[in-house]
Amino acid sequence: MTSISKASIVFLISIFIQYVFANGFTIDLIHRDSSLSPYYDPSLSRSERLSKAFQRSVSRAASSPFGVQKASAPSGGFESPVRANSGEYLMKLSIGNPPVETLAIADTGSDISWVQCKPCTSCYNQTTPIFDPSDSKTYRNVACQSKPCTEYQSTICTDDNICQYTVTYGDRSSTVGDLATETFTFASPSGQPVSIQKVVFGCGHENEGTFHGSGAGLIGLGGGPLSLVSQLDTLINGKFSYCLVPIDSAETVTSKLKFGSDAVVSGPQAVSTPLTKKEPETFYYLTLESISVGANRLSYIKTDDSDSKASSVEQGNIIIDSGTTLTILPSEFYEELEATLKQSINGKPTDPKGSFSLCFEDPDSIKFPDITFHFTDADVLLKSKNTFIEVEAGLVCLAMVPSTSVAIFGNLSQMDYLVGYDLVAGKVSFEPTDCTKQ
C-alpha cells in the first residue's frame, strides 16, 4: 500500500490564498444540534438532543475497525473506520467560482474531503444547493496519471481517463465520485473570506447510507495526505487548533477552528504531549499514562514488553477526536475508574440511563471530584462540566463509557480547552480557555 507524501501534495496543488490574516485565519464551527444548524430540531428538548449526540458517539466508537486496521471496501475502494453520520461540528464554506455556499461536517477522524455533486446517481437530501461542477470556472478533474490518483489507495481510472474515488464507511455508507481540484472559500468571523485554490476533494455522485444530517459532505482534518490539514501543510506550518464551547453555552455562540500562527497554543497554563505515529494515519494518537480521581491516581492499562520483560504503557493508546462526544475507555480500566468514582462521590448511584453506566440524581447536592488525564508530559484537568452531564432534568451521568475496541478522548472532555495540533513538532497542546470568548 502506498501513500502520497505531504511534500508532493503541496507541490501539486500550488495552494494560493487570496486573503489571510496576519496571524492565520479562523473559521466558525457550528454544533449540529445548535439553533444555528439547519439540522436543529426545536421540538427536541436539550436532553433529547444530548441523547442523540451520545448515541452517535457510541456508534462511532463501535464502528469496526475504528483505529485498528484498514479493511478492503467494495470495488477496491477504501474503508473508513468511522461511521458516516457521526461528526458533531459543521463548517460553512463555498465551493467553486462562482462560489456555491454550503455546510459540511468538519472531522479530525477523516481524511478525504468530499461534497455531493450533480449529476446525482444517488444523493441524500441536503439543505443547501448541491454543487454542480459544470457551473464552476475553476473545477478540474484530477488526471489518472497524477499522484493523488496513482498513489492514493481509494481511486480507479475510468475509460474516460477520469480518476474516481470510493470511500465506504464503517456503517457501510459510501460515497463514490470523481477526484478533482476546486477553490474552497471559508467564511471567517472577521467577515473577510479565505479562498484556497486547487484543493483536492471528492465530487460525490453516488452517496448512500446514513448521511442525513451530515451537511453537504465532509471536510477531512485527519492526518492522511489528502486531508485539508495536510494539503495546507506548509501554508499553516502544520498548525491548527480548535476551542469548543461548553454544551450549556448560549446556542448562538460558536466554537472556533484556527489555522496557522493563530493556532499556536503557548499560554502560561499550556501543556503539551507528543503525537504518536500509528496506522491508520488518519487518526491523532496520544499516550495516556494514568487518570486521577481527586488525589487517587489510577495507572492505565499496561502492555507486556517481551524484549525487556517489563510492563509499560502502550504508546499512542488513545485517539483524540473532535467528532466523538463521549470519552471512550477500555472496559477493564473503565470499571476501575467507575469504582473509584463511586467511592469518592457523596451520593448514591441511580439506575443508569441509555448508554451510560454511572448516573446520579439531585446533582446540586453532590460534589463531583476533578478528574485528571495524565498524558505523557501533560496533565489535563477536567472539571465536572466536562465529566458529568445532565442527560435529563435532575439526572447527571458520567460522560465516559467502556469499550472493548478503542480508546477515544472525546469532545466533551475537550470543551473549554484550546486544543492545538502542531504536526511539525509532533505534539498536541492544551490550555484552559473560556471558549465563548475566542
> Does 107 qualify as catalytic in the annotation?
yes
Whose grid coordinates read 465516559? 400
Task: Give pLDDT, residue 23.
Answer: 55
Task: Classify strands 100-107 and 217-220 as parallel, antiparallel or unpaired.
Answer: parallel
For all residues of the chain together, what is the average pLDDT? 84
Q: How far apart are the first and last CA of the chain?
A: 41
pTM comes to 0.87
**Does 265-437 match 6-259 at the fold level?**
yes
Say if CB 7 and CB 167 are below 8 A apart: no
pLDDT band with cut points at 50, 70 and 90 for residue 213: low
190 pLDDT above the threshold of 90: no
Angle at 119 between CA 224 and CA 9, to 5 degrees: 25
Q: Give residue-wise pLDDT tens across range 77-106.
A: 434 444 444 467 899 999 999 999 999 999
Q: What are phi and psi of 75, to 5 degrees?
A: 60, 25
pLDDT digits (tens, 9 = 90+) for 263-320: 999 989 999 999 999 998 999 999 999 999 999 999 997 665 545 445 588 999 999 9
Q: What is the pLDDT of residues 172-188, one digit of tens each?
A: 788 999 999 999 999 87
Please state, in angstroms and rounded to a whole number, the distance separating the CA atoms of residues 65 and 390.
Answer: 30
- Higher per-residue pLDDT: 227 or 38: 227
Is the domain spanning 6-259 CATH 2.40.70.10? The answer is: yes
- pLDDT above 70: residue 205: yes
Residue whose grid cell is 517481551? 306
User: Nearest to residue 30, comparing CAs of 87, 89, 92?
Assistant: 89
Q: Is the pLDDT of residue 32 over 90?
A: no
Residue of 386 and 147 predicted with greater confidence = 386
Averaged over 38-67, what is the pLDDT? 68
- Considering 171, 321, 416, 422, which one is annotated as catalytic? 321
248 in catalytic set: no
- Residue range 35-57: mean pLDDT, rounded: 76
Spans of all domains in the chain: 6-259, 265-437
Q: Give the span between the Cα atoms of 98 and 358, in whole angstroms.
A: 52
User: What single-letter DSSP state applies at residue 368?
Assistant: P
Q: How many whole angstroms separate alpha carbon 158 and alpha carbon 178? A: 10
How many CB atoms are located within 10 Å of the residue 159 CB?
5
Locus of grid cell 508532493 = 8
The four Cα atoms 315, 317, 320, 326 give a dihedral, to 10 degrees, of -160
| Residue 405: per-residue pLDDT | 82
Nearest to 78 by CA among 158, 2, 141: 2
pLDDT higher than threshold 90 for residue 45? no
Which of the following is catalytic: 28, 33, 107, 111?
107
CA angle 258-260-264, nearest 5°? 75
Give residue 351's pLDDT band: very low, low, confident or very high (50, 70, 90). confident
Taking domain 265-437, whether its CATH number is 2.40.70.10 is answered by yes
Q: Please state which of the ranges 213-217, 252-256, 356-360 shows the lowest mean pLDDT.
A: 213-217
pLDDT for position 241:
97
Q: Which residue, 233, 276, 295, 300, is CA-closest to 427?
A: 276
